[in-house]
Amino acid sequence: MGNKMLFALILGCASLLAVPGARAQAASSTDSPTATDQDIKLLRMDIRSQKKQLIASNLTLTDAEATKFWPVYDQYSAELTKIGDQRYALIKEYAQNFGSLTDAQAKSLLDRSLALDEAVAQLRIKYVPVINKVLPATKTATFFQLDRRISTLIDLQLSSKLPLMQDQR
């Protein structure tokens, strides 16, 4: 991946993902930064745009392949965004209740988080044959490698910003 694009993506993710963690810790600090849902929506759109640029700059496509691939990518991305919306809602719920979560709430958050992880895996499984219809297998695999790398970076940023469940007590 291009280092400048990768760095920009990481910075964008850090900005986006610092918000829920800051909100979760806001119970003990009145000067913590917060962002509106609209701010988060705009940041997420920017990250999706940067992700698309990263994929475009690292997945070598012919003109014919690109013409077929990008509409499929946009469809995949839209479905992935719906899962991301659910993940954001879950993080927001965690942040809003941090400090007073019961064991039952913690278990529910964990179960729903794992279900979202599974939904992402199932979406990838669903799209492998779809993308493989418009790209050769090596480029299909490359796309999913890039997708996983970028998602892993985002997840790493996210997990580093969220306080541990046990730290609420």
Structure tokens at 30: 């009145």
Would you state the pLDDT for residue 141?
97
Residue numbers of the domain that contains 73: 3-168
Q: Rounded to the nearest 5 degrees, what angle is found at the Cα of 124, between the Cα atoms of 117 and 3?
A: 85
Reported pTM: 0.74
Could you give the number of structural domains in the chain?
1
22-56: b (≥16 Cβ within 10 Å) or e? bbbbbeeeeeeeebeeeebeebbebbbebbeebbb
The chain-wide mean pLDDT, for the chain, equals: 79
Is residue 13 over pLDDT 80? no
36-63 tens-digit pLDDT: 666 666 666 667 778 888 999 999 999 9
Close Cβ partners of 156 (under 8 Å, ≥ 6 residues apart): none
115-134 tens-digit pLDDT: 999 999 999 999 999 999 99
Quote the CA–CA distance of 23 and 46 in Å, as a whole number.
21
Query: Are 51 and 150 in contact, with CB atoms under 8 Å apart?
Result: yes
